[in-house]
Structure 1
Amino acid sequence: MKKALRKQVLQELKSLSKEEKEVMGAWLTEQLLLHPFYKEAKTIATYLSFPHEFQTASLIEQAQKDGKTILIPKTYPHGKMDFVLYEPEKLERNSFGLLEPQGKTIVFEPSQIDLIHVPGLAFNTSGYRVGYGGGYYDRYLEHFSSHTISTLYPCQIQDFQPDHYDIPVEEVLIYERDF
């Protein structure tokens, strides 16, 4: 079921025009920057986007200007993931085609992170998500007690039943304007 949902949403995301994504992305970035979770956070974990996803570059840039510490995921075999300091000069493409930090990195403990901006393909109205199937975020969020938030295009809201091991995102921002 999740496999078909992943495929469907991925197709819908890839069919959005560059202009649509830019408009929705700018609006979502603005909503996130105005959110109390963001304003109160000193250390924010986010992700480096695939082309079809919400683009995090503006968020990262603004967060740095706002003096926030930015972390990005670093993955390991067997579904393990850490959040490490964002250092653009250390980025290289991993096996998934994502930019990921290489070499010696500064790992942050979950207790040092104020907010995680969580990616995903599909979300239901209760904040449960379907990611890319690696389980990295569900495993990480299981031991995370601070705030979580996601930014979504409308096509990412889907009706599905979560699995027992799924961890919901605390707050979901969905693009709400029409073109």
Structure 2
Amino acid sequence: MNKRSARALAKARVKTLSDAEKLIKSGVIVNDVLSFVDENGIKSVFVYKSSDDEVQTNAIIDGLFERGVKVYIPKISGDLMRLSVISKKSKFVRNIFGIFETTDDGEDFFDAELNIVPLVAFDKTLTRLGHGKGYYDRYLEKATGRILALAYDCQEIDEIDSETHDVKMQLVITESGRKGG
């Protein structure tokens, strides 16, 4: 399926989920992510601050803080995505895309042990389809840690057309479990 059609289909499917369903599904995903962190002894994680239609990440971030994990979130700088270290006291603002980020400048850092990324859709080969701006693909080309995406089951599409710059996920966690390895 072409990217435009896949995005439209996945977004329409997510829109059918009630807030309560998203909250329940997100809770299951959060528990699995934190178990994954514990199982692998992960000490540094890059994660996004979620929007309303994404798997909710605030509980993941809180769980990472409780475990003493160093947490980074994205900061858009021109056509690049940089990382900002956050703490429980960090202040957040919405950027030009409506995404939460910190007020500091961020840094060019690619060595988080785990990179947790959002997506609009994915397929059985773990091709990730984002919003189409390419920020995550450019970042992930240089990232050294594992790449994990969070999604609802309804965001899985049979097949998504991919391009050479599209970075495949190593693992996708949904409410029904882990896909990939």
TM over 0.5: yes
The answer on whether the counterparts of 1:63 and 1:70 sit within 8 Å (CA) in structure 2 is: yes
Aligned with 1:71: secondary structure?
strand
The whole-number CA distance in structure 2 between the counterparts of 1:38 and 1:108 is 28
Aligned to 1:142: 141
**Structure 2 match to 1:64:** 65
The question of 1:132 aligning with 2:120 is answered no
**Map of 1:21 onto structure 2:** 22
Give CA deviations for 1:155-174 in whole Å, capped at 9, x if unaligned.
11112121111011111112
1:119 corresponds in structure 2 to 118
Partner Cα distance (1:68, 1:105) in 2: 21
Higher helix fraction: Structure 1 or Structure 2?
Answer: 1
- Measured in 1, the distance between the counterparts of 2:19 and 2:47 equals 22
Q: Secondary structure at the match of 2:176?
A: coil
Give the superposition deviation at 1:95. Answer: 1.3
Shift of 1:36: 5.2
Q: Give the secondary-structure state (helix, strand or coil) at the position aligned to 2:59.
A: helix
Gaps of 5+ in 2: none
- CA distance in 1: counterparts of 2:118 and 2:97, whole angstroms: 15
Give the aligned CA root-mean-square deviation in angstroms.
1.8
Gaps of 5+ in 1: none
Aligned residues: percent identity? 27
Change (3 A) 1:120 1:49: same
